[in-house]
Amino acid sequence: METKNTILSQKDLELLEKIVLQYGKIVSFDQIRDAMQGTASIGAVRKRVAAMSQAGWLIRLKKGLYLAVTDISALGFTDVSELVIAQSLNHDSYISFESALQYHGMFDQMLARVDSVTSRTTKTYQVLQTTYTFSCIKADLYFGFTQESINHQQVNLAEKEKAILDLLYFRSSDYTASLVMEKLRVYQDQFDFEKLKTYSARYSLAIIRKTGFLLDRLGVDAVDLLWQSHGKKSSYNKLTRNADQFNAKWRLYYDPHLVG
């Protein structure tokens, strides 16, 4: 981030310290105004916020929400967890996909984005070098997450089983199928497969079939999902968009190179 002036006046320094002390490093416009004793006009607050943002001491997350920087050596960066930032951008959401798997110690590659699931509108934000995506899911599938404390903030994080199902639900790429199969196989002893099956039964027939098929490949008993998938014997689904090999048991097209 380029800054025109990294030196804070004593007045601005005191304001920044007060903001962080009272509200933490993620702060709203109204909280900044309250920290200014609420006596300043809206115009004056906006002018001061704009000046501190231009100098790099406040980073705009979205309209009316800012990240306070307290260390001059960190200008253009942040020591606040990206998961905390994601939760602050949308309170009606939970971290899922690879981001949740990484939190659970099942994904060790560097991520350029944090993916969340929301009960609100699908939206994307760009903060510094990180992209934050929020994928909308229908109300009856908005479940399967716990509250975790990160940087002294509460963050909603998908359980590992829910993260797997969200990947299958939202994405149908070769990469996703391969990733899901890899994680289920490598961390087989860490997944609760009964929970995975119970959760999958709340999704569509397509997800039931995909989950049952993958568990079958691992040698995990999925007969309960098989019974649920027999409702429409004339229908079929695809594990990925380009899948071309048919599995009659699960009535699912798949690519054997992706699932082993």
Please provide the DSSP assignment of 185-215 as one string. HHTTTTS-HHHHHHHHTTS-HHHHHHHHHHH
Last residue of a domain, one of 99, 128, 158: 158
| Residue 230, pLDDT score | 76
Instruction: Give the bridge partners for 127, in sequence order.
Output: 130
> Are residue 99 and residue 144 in the same domain, yes or no?
yes
Last residue of a domain, one of 74, 96, 121: 74
Residue 42 placed within a domain: yes
pLDDT below 70 — which residues of the chain?
1-6, 38-39, 72-78, 231-233
Residue 29 placed within a domain: yes
| Residue 9, pLDDT score | 82
Is the pTM higher than 0.75? The answer reads yes
Last residue of a domain, one of 25, 44, 74: 74
What is the spatial order of strands in the sheet that 130-136 belongs to? 123-127, 130-136, 113-118, 93-95, 153-158, 145-150
As for how many domains the chain has, the answer is 3
| Residue 231, pLDDT score | 66
Residue 163 placed within a domain: no
Residue 139 placed within a domain: yes
Taking Cα atoms as reference points, which of 189, 231, 238 lies closest to residue 213?
238
CA distances in angstroms from 177 to 60, 188, 203, 242, 255, listed in the order given: 36, 16, 17, 11, 9
> Are residue 139 and residue 61 in the same domain, yes or no?
no
Phi, psi dihedral angles at 131 (to 5 degrees) = -100, 135
Burial of 205 (0-12, 13-18, 19+ CB in 10 A): middle
| Residue 72, pLDDT score | 61
> Are residue 136 and residue 184 in the same domain, yes or no?
no
CB 125 within 8 A of CB 98: no
Residue 27 placed within a domain: yes
| Residue 79, pLDDT score | 79
What is the residue range of 221's domain?
A: 171-259
| Residue 128, pLDDT score | 87
| Residue 86, pLDDT score | 97
| Residue 248, pLDDT score | 93
Residue 179 placed within a domain: yes
| Residue 232, pLDDT score | 64
Residue 166 placed within a domain: no
